[in-house]
């Protein structure tokens, strides 16, 4: 049954994505917020298919922690699911993602038309500057800049040192940081065809007031909350697993 559901889900993606990529190209001249809503309808349809076809649901803890105004989001990264779900759970978001994704036919074309930040991960300080400059502009436009500080998808129970780009953006702009933990990797594994039915838990932490804090302090607070929350909610993944030091 899992195989059939997953096959049907990918069939829906195959039908939806090419025409929506063309719509995204046509929508490119529109204002950023309008373009986001037009192209983002694809995400809502994909989430609908995950719910009704795959049987993959989610619940959110801590919605009351979402502040008014701008924010930088630092989120655990385990699968492609959170890149979709956060667009539904949060106010308009702008992701920081690796530039290579733009090369994917149809999907990458549509992604390139969204108000996002595509970076060269090997560019070092230039990539950090790009996140700061473009991120500040997107925050002013009303988008919540969303960063996966681990830099890549990590299997459940594993983590790596948090990179500082998102925290640096928060330090420069004074925007609060919203830490988010979840277990999407239990149901949608990295590069896996099979999508498991079940319920993903998303936990939104209290906003971190970044005023007067350095990027290192912001990054450390976010990591401590996320990794502690992961161990609280999903302890079976973290037996004898140490918490890595923040960058």
Q: 144 and 93 in contact (C-beta within 8 Å)?
A: yes
Does residue 245 fall inside a structural domain? no
List of E strands, the chain: 56-61, 72-75, 93-98, 117-119, 144-147, 177-182, 198-204
Instruction: Judge whether 216 lies within some domain.
Output: yes
Q: Positive or negative, the Cα torsion across 200, 205, 207, 208?
A: negative
Average pLDDT over residues 123-140: 79
Q: Is residue 6 part of a domain?
A: yes
Residue % of the chain over a pLDDT of 90: 66
Question: What is the share, in percent, of the chain residues with pLDDT greater than 70?
Answer: 89
Question: Does residue 49 belong to any structural domain of this protein?
Answer: yes
Q: Provide the 8-state DSSP code for 67.
A: P
Do the domain assignments include residue 214? Answer: yes
**pLDDT value for 66:** 96
Q: Which tens digit of pLDDT belongs to each residue from 59-78?
A: 999 999 999 999 999 999 99
Is 154 a member of any domain?
yes
- pLDDT for 247: 55
Burial label for 43, CB within 10 Å (0-12, 13-18, 19+), is middle
Give residue 239's pLDDT: 80
Residue 108 CA, chain-centre distance (Å), reads: 16
Under 8 Å between Cβ of 201 and 78: no
User: Structural domain tally of the chain?
Assistant: 1
- The predicted structure's pLDDT at residue 30: 86
More confident of the two residues 242 and 27: 27
Phi, psi dihedral angles at 113 (to 5 degrees)? -95, -5
Question: What CATH number should be reported for the domain holding residue 160?
Answer: 3.40.1130.10
Q: Which residue has the higher pLDDT, 57 or 103?
A: 57
Contacts of 231 (CB under 8 A, 6+ apart): 238, 241
pLDDT at 127: 66
**pLDDT for position 84:** 94
Average pLDDT, the chain: 89
Q: Considering only 8-17, 45-54, 105-114, 224-233, which range has the smallest mean pLDDT? A: 105-114
Look at residues 182, 184, 165, 171 and name the one whose alpha carbon lies nearest to residue 125. Answer: 165
Compute the CA torsion angle 19, 24, 30, 35 (nearest 10 deg).
110
Residue-level pLDDT at 121: 62
The pLDDT assigned to 173 comes to 95
Question: By the 8 A CB rule, do 75 and 86 touch?
Answer: yes
Residue 59 belongs to some domain of the structure: yes
- Whether residue 242 is predicted with pLDDT greater than 80 in this model: the reply is no
Assess if residue 244 is contained within a domain: no
Q: What is the residue range of 104's domain?
A: 2-237
Query: According to the model, what pLDDT value does residue 120 have?
Result: 66
Name the band, by pLDDT with cuts 50, 70 and 90, for residue 85.
very high
Q: Which residue has the higher pLDDT, 200 or 18?
A: 200
- Does pLDDT of 29 surpass 80? yes
Which one has a higher pLDDT value, 184 or 33?
A: 184
């Amino acid at each position: 049954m899992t195989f059939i559901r997953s096959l049907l889900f990918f069939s829906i993606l195959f039908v939806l994505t090419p025409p929506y990529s063309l719509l995204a190209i046509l929508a490119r001249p529109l204002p950023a917020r309008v373009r986001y809503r037009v192209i983002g309808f694809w995400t809502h349809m994909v989430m609908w298919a995950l719910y009704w076809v795959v049987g993959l649901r989610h619940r959110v803890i801590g919605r009351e922690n979402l502040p008014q105004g701008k924010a930088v989001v630092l989120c655990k990264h385990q699968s492609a699911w959170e890149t979709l779900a956060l667009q539904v759970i949060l106010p308009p978001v702008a992701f920081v993602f690796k530039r290579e994704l733009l090369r994917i036919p149809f999907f990458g074309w549509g992604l390139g038309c969204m108000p996002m930040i595509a970076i060269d991960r090997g560019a070092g300080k230039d990539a950090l500057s790009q996140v700061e400059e473009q991120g500040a502009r997107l925050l002013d436009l009303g988008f919540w800049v969303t960063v996966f500080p681990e830099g890549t998808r990590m299997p459940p129970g594993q983590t790596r040192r948090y990179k500082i780009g998102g925290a640096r953006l928060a330090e420069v702009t004074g925007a609060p940081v919203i830490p988010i933990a979840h277990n999407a990797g239990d149901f949608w594994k990295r590069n896996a065809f099979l999508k498991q039915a079940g319920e993903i838990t998303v936990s939104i932490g209290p906003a971190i007031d970044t005023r007067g804090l350095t990027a290192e302090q912001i990054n450390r607070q976010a990591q401590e909350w996320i990794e502690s929350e992961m161990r609280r909610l999903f302890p079976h993944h973290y037996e004898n697993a140490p918490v890595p030091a923040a960058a």
